[in-house]
Amino acid sequence: MQKPNKLITLVSVLLTTTALAEAPCEYDSKDKVVYEGSIESVRVLKKNVKSHVEDTRKCTMNIEARIKGKWYPSDANYVFGPDMSEVDACGIAENRAKVKVMRTILPETLKSEKNLKCSLTNVKSSCKVVYIDAIVSGFGKQQVRMISCDERK
């Protein structure tokens, strides 16, 4: 009764292969938010930089942004490490405050572009089934089925 188990094991080992699936197409998606209007002017009401956690600092910016002749308040902050300057970090905090005002006051349009790029230049390898006569210990002469594929170039 042991021979069928060996045969099953042999066949399983010979038929087990790793198949790599390659996608012939690439999917690309670009989303863009466009605000229908602009900030006419910005004034900084308060800028505060203080120590935060471990060796980081936090810049908090309070601004007012003028849109269509009217002033709107906003604030935002940015946490930064020792590798970034205070000027750059506070610039990011100020931009966040501006975006916050724009999201609240201005109408926005979402533009989305999706591209599916397929390449037909990838040549698929061709495969064929090959039968080989082999002598297997304990089983005698056996016919083994193998798949032979050309290499991709």
Q: What is the pLDDT of residues 27-54, one digit of tens each?
A: 777 888 887 888 999 999 999 999 999 8
Instruction: Give the chain's domain count.
Output: 2
Q: What is the mean pLDDT of the chain?
A: 80
Q: How far apart are the first and last CA of the chain?
A: 47
Same domain, yes or no, for 81 and 55? yes
Identify whether residues 126 and 79 lie together within a single domain: no
Name residues whose C-beta falls within 8 Å of residue 121's C-beta, 6 or more positions apart in sequence. none
Ramachandran sector of residue 40 (left: φ over 0; alpha: ψ -120 to 50; beta: rest): alpha
The predicted model scores a pTM of 0.53
Give the per-residue pLDDT at 122: 54
Answer whether residue 20 shows pLDDT above 60: no
Q: Are residues 47 and 81 in the same domain?
A: yes
Residues 43, 109, single domain; the answer is yes
Q: Which helix (H) or strand (E) holds 99?
A: helix 86-105
Mean pLDDT of 142-148: 80
Q: Are residues 49 and 109 in the same domain?
A: yes
Measured between alpha carbons, how far is 103 from 97 in angstroms, rounded to an integer?
10
Residue 69 belongs to what domain range? 31-113
In terms of domains, do 107 and 131 share one? no
For residue 125, give the nearest of 95, 140, 147 by alpha carbon: 147
Q: What is the mean pLDDT of residues 128-142?
A: 79
Rounded to whole angstroms, the maximal C-alpha distance in the chain is 94
Contacts of 116 (CB under 8 A, 6+ apart): 25, 26, 27, 28
Q: Taking a C-beta distance cutoff of 8 angstroms, is the pair 86, 92 a contact?
A: no
Residue 110 has pLDDT above 90, yes or no: no
**Whether residue 107 is found in the same domain as residue 75:** yes
**Three-state DSSP class for residue 59:** strand
pLDDT of 1 over the 60 cut: no
| 92 and 129 co-located in one domain | no
How far is 104 from 76, CA to CA, in rounded Å? 14
For the stretch 52-86, pLDDT in tens is 998 999 999 999 999 999 999 999 999 999 999 99
Same-domain status, 44 and 85: yes
Domain identity same for 44 and 80 = yes
Co-location of 126 and 100 in the same domain? no
Residues 36 and 56 in one domain: yes
